[in-house]
Amino acid sequence: MSFDTVSVIGLGYIGLPTAAAFAAVRKQVIGIDVNRNIVDTINRGEIHIVEPDLDVAVRAAVSGGYLRASIQPESADAYLIAVPTPFKNDHEPDLRYIEAAAKALAPVLRKGDLVVLESTSPVGATEQLAQWLAEARSDLSFPQDAGEDADVNVAHCPERVLPGHVMRELIENDRVIGGMTPRCSARACELYKSFVRGECIVTNARTAEMCKLTENAFRDVNIAFANELSIICDKLGINVWDLVQLANRHPRVNILQPGPGVGGHCIAVDPWFIVDSAPEEARLIRTAREVNNSKPRWVMDKVDAAIADAKADGKQDKDLTIAVFGLSFKPDIDDLRESPALDIAIELAARHPGKVLAVEPHIDALPEKLKSPNLILVDFPTASAQADIGLLLVDHKPFREQAAPTHLRLVDTKGIWV
């Protein structure tokens, strides 16, 4: 069966670009999202997130009649689930959005359909998805019971794109595809090959799930090494950025750059899925998470030291203005998810009696959780002119292009002004 109509459930940072990619190869794409504002925005040919080239792709897809958005799932030949997978309680995976997506699409499933889970998920989530679908549709058979003869095929294909380069990497990157059966894998490969130029590599569902978690845990461990190194160097009076540059001249050493912590929905979350699955065995992965999670506390200690220095010069807390440069979780994007910079700004606004000026060139308004009487979104010149203390948290290009505001007491967590 061909895949003429594709439904993408969840129109966020991954779902919307994926929908646009299928529409670009002339698939009829129905995007589903529970947020009415998002649905209306897309149906106008506009976008609600910042991602290079996505606006052009969505506008062309909508105006060409290949993409439309809806609140309610509709019949399609293939369904891609791209919803959030956060954690709850003590870093326990929270699959409620996947469950909600399964229950929403179940009524429109037909024999011969394909369901692909794209959401980054703990091991076993694809099987759980298939079970939820089976419970909702007893009239259809699924791979866990019928194997290759299942009415509905189910697979996992994790996204592996870099924010800021999503539209290119969706097409060029290799995809790992893990079906619950060989037929599930083959059909998912057929679907993705309609627009993916990279290789579609087949494995089973559990290995595909673990692959994405492994990729992000690997990066988390390496970032933790850099962050821990920065703390050690600070204690020993060594410039960590000079040190990293020198050490990386070794042909087999590639130390990453330290920062204020780790953010984003992937690296800050996914390693916990591994820890949850194997708590006794995942010792290094857990430690890396703890190192990176503790880095914002170290940053706050450096800010406290800068405040103490300013007070020693005769200023009072309420008279001190702190400028926070950057709120997103990485440079040159608007994504604030799991951002350590955002959490630091929230804590500063809550405990500092003076003004806190936030400089984030990629947003027009502060998110609800950041709204505070003493926290104000301003531009770079305003912050530089009014602040007493500057805290650089994200090395956005506009900041890298600016000379260091040397009249401020600077806490530079990215090493661009030191």
Query: What is the domain-level CATH number for residue 146?
Result: 3.40.50.720
Same domain, 221 and 142: no
pLDDT band at 335 (very low <50, low <70, confident <90, very high): confident
Same domain, 190 and 225: no
Is residue 207 included in any domain, yes or no? no
Active site (annotated) includes residue 266: yes
Return the residue matching tokens 């590599």.
201
pLDDT band at 368 (very low <50, low <70, confident <90, very high): confident
Residue in 364, 359, 362, 361 with CA at minimum distance from that of residue 390: 359
User: How is 151-200 classified by DSSP, letter by letter?
Assistant: SSEEEE------TTSHHHHHHHS-EEEEESSHHHHHHHHHHHTTT--S-E
Same domain, 169 and 220: no
Same domain, 349 and 375: yes
Residue in 90, 121, 104, 113 with CA at minimum distance from that of residue 34: 104
Active site (annotated) includes residue 212: yes
Average pLDDT, the chain: 95
Domain boundary among the residues 198, 228, 249 is at: 198
Q: Which residues contact 156 (CB under 8 A, 6 or more apart)?
A: 116, 117, 118, 121, 125, 126, 177, 178, 179, 205, 208, 209
The whole-angstrom separation of Cα 243 and Cα 258 is 11
Phi first, then psi, for residue 114 (nearest 5°) are -120, 135
pTM value is 0.90
pLDDT of residue 163: 82
Same domain, 152 and 229: no
* Active-site residue, selected from the candidate residues 184, 189, 200, 212: 212
Is residue 209 included in any domain, yes or no? no
Same domain, 382 and 272: yes
* Count of positions (residues) in the chain: 418
pLDDT band at 406 (very low <50, low <70, confident <90, very high): confident
Same domain, 191 and 222: no
Number of domains in the chain: 2
pLDDT of residue 234: 96
pLDDT surpassing 70 at residue 1: no
pLDDT tens digit string along 178-216? 999 999 999 999 999 999 999 999 999 999 999 999 999
Q: Which amino acid is at 240?
A: V
Same domain, 220 and 138: no
Q: What is the DSSP letter of 107?
A: G
Is residue 206 included in any domain, yes or no? no
Range of the domain at 387: 215-412
Same domain, 233 and 303: yes
Same domain, 238 and 109: no
* Active-site residue, selected from the candidate residues 157, 184, 189, 266: 266
Is residue 77 included in any domain, yes or no? yes
Which stretch of DSSP H or E encloses residue 392? strand 389-392
| Cβ atoms 7, 73 nearer than 8 A | yes
Q: The tokens of 187 are what?
A: 């059909």
